[in-house]
Amino acid sequence: MKRSEINAIMRDAVAFVRDMRFQLPPFAFWSPTDWATKGHDYDEIRDNMLGWDITDFGSGDYKKIGLLMFTLRNGNFNDKKKYEKPYAEKLLIVEEGQITPCHFHWSKMEDIINRGGGDLLVQVYNSDEKDEFATTDVPIAIDGHRYSVKAGSVVRIKPGESISIQSGMYHKFWAEGGRTLLGEVSKVNDDRVDNRFHDPVGRFPAIEEDEPALYMLGNEYPEAK
C-alpha cells in the first residue's frame, strides 16, 4: 500500500467516526514527530500495538479486500505479568462489500458488535483437526440467542446486534447497505501469531513511502529514547 493511500483512509475514518459520535483517544492523532518525544511511560501503547491498523491483506485493492482497525486497549500474550489485562477492544470500519478474508483465531474469542451504518454479513465454518473447513453445524450466539447454522452459512448482524466468535471458528465478513462501524470486545489479541487464514494473505502490508505518514500504524512505533 502507498503511504498516501493509508493517510487518506485515516482522514476519512476520523471524519466517519466523528460523524458516528465516537471519540478516539488522544494517541490516535500523534504524528511521527510526536512519537519521537514519547518515553517509556507510553510503552503499553507500543508493546500491545494499540492504535491504527490498516491492511489490504496483500490484495493490492483495499476497497475490495481490506479492513481498518483501531485497537483501543489490549493485554499482552508474552508479558502477562507486566500487562495483566485479559481483554482487548477494537473499533473497525468495513466498507460496502469490502471483504475480510476467512480466518480463525487459535486463542482469541471475540464479540463483534455492529455500532451502526449498514448490516454486517458473516460467513461461518467450524475448523477441523487439520485447520480446514469442517462440515459440522456452527454454533451461533447473537445477543443471547443461541442456535446452529449449516457450515458456510451467512449470518446477518444488523446495527445494534452482536455476534460471538469462538476460537477455532472460521469467519469471513463484509458490509451491506453502507459503510459500517463495528466494535470488537475480545480476549487478548495478537494478530502477529493468533490468526489462521484459510488462504494465505499478507496481514501487515508493505508500505511505499510516497509521502510522510499522517499517523503511525501500531506496528511502526519507534523505541522510547
**Does residue 213 form part of some domain?**
no
Whole-Å CA distances, 189 to 52, 66, 156, 168? 14, 19, 24, 14
- pLDDT digit string (tens) for 160-204? 999 999 999 999 999 999 999 999 999 999 999 999 999 999 999
- pLDDT digit string (tens) for 140-155? 999 999 999 999 999 9
**Does residue 124 form part of some domain?**
yes
Residue 55 neighbours by CB distance under 10 Å: 22
With CA atoms as reference, report the closest residue to 112 among 203, 56, 18, 186: 186
- As for how many domains the chain has, the answer is 1
- pLDDT digit string (tens) for 14-66? 999 999 999 999 999 999 999 999 999 999 999 999 999 999 999 999 999 99
Q: What are phi and psi of 42, to 5 degrees?
A: -110, 20
What is the C-alpha to C-alpha distance for residues 137 and 42, in angstroms, rounded to an integer? 45
**Does residue 122 form part of some domain?**
yes
CATH number at residue 63: 2.60.120.10
- pLDDT digit string (tens) for 82-139? 999 999 999 999 999 999 999 999 999 999 999 999 999 999 999 999 999 999 999 9
Band the pLDDT of 225: cuts 50, 70, 90. Answer: confident
Band the pLDDT of 73: cuts 50, 70, 90. Answer: very high
**Does residue 135 form part of some domain?**
yes
User: E-assigned strands of 51-207?
Assistant: 51-55, 67-73, 87-94, 100-104, 110-116, 119-126, 138-142, 145-149, 154-157, 162-165, 169-176, 180-187, 196-197
- Name the residue range of residue 36's domain: 3-197
For all residues of the chain together, what is the average pLDDT? Answer: 97
Q: Where are the alpha helices (DSSP H) in 20-119?
A: 32-35, 43-47
